[in-house]
Amino acid sequence: MIERAATIADESLSVVLSHGIIGLTEKELRDRLDDEMARRGSDSPSFPTIVAAGPNGFHPHHVPTDSVVDEGDMVVIDMGATVGGWMSDMTRTVRVGTTSAELEEMHVLVRAAQEAGLAAVRPGVTGREVDEAVRAVFRAAGVEHEFVHGTGHGVGTVIHEQPILNRSCETALMEGEVVTVEPGLYREGVGGVRIEDLVVVTTTGCRILTRTPKELSCPPSAPTT
């Protein structure tokens, strides 16, 4: 059911982006995502959907506003579905048209850090060790201070469950657990980038449940009403 919830979120994001997002407010984009998940069988969003466009991406838990998605924005979208009480969680950062070199560099670093975090997930590894794999990438680039939260958390019938993948977690991951890997960078006045996958811990590593591509751009045309 968690995997089904993840698929609903994937499909819903794809459909909404395919219609274009330029000119939508963050609230309108959130509502479209929530409505699409419901149409595809989600009982409810697994948490309040986050849409943060442009400089608003600086806030990891931004509450959608009437800010309008515009050319040159990076838009952070954090969403999840619920099926039979079981939840999913994913984040993608969407380019809108041509984004700045600074934002592109942030995206490259987050992508590299997320890959390092995914590679670290396996039974017996502690949450701290997964978090450190992510932080090492940011530290080498001199931007660790812009990563202001932990690397991930467990997901099940509650959206934030143990284990918590952060600097203080000495709990070892176990085969069959479902966790997120979600590093991000947040720069005031510029915006934010976060990439999050939902994964199942397997015997030798992890299986990724989130299928949405990590390089996303919206269509060039404005959405029709």
* pLDDT at residue number 219: 59
Helix (H, G, I), strand (E, B) or coil at 62: coil
Domains of the chain: 2-217 (3.90.230.10)
Q: For 109-142, what is each residue's pLDDT tens digit?
A: 999 999 999 999 999 999 999 999 999 999 999 9
- Kindly tell me the burial class for residue 12, based on how many C-beta atoms sit within 10 Å of its own C-beta (0-12, 13-18, 19 or more): buried
Kindly state the DSSP code that residue 84 receives in the 8-state scheme: T
* Nearest alpha-carbon partner for 13 in 119, 98, 108, 88: 88
Cβ neighbours, 10 Å, residue 142:
8
For 23, the token pair is: 């000119």
Provide the percentage of residues in the chain whose pLDDT is more than 90.
95
Strand partners, 210: none
Residue 104 has a CB neighbour count (10 Å cut-off) of: 14
Convert the pLDDT of each residue in 48-72 to its tens digit. 999 999 999 999 999 999 999 999 9
Query: How far is Cα 188 from Cα 150, in angstroms, rounded to an integer?
Result: 19
* The model's pTM: 0.96
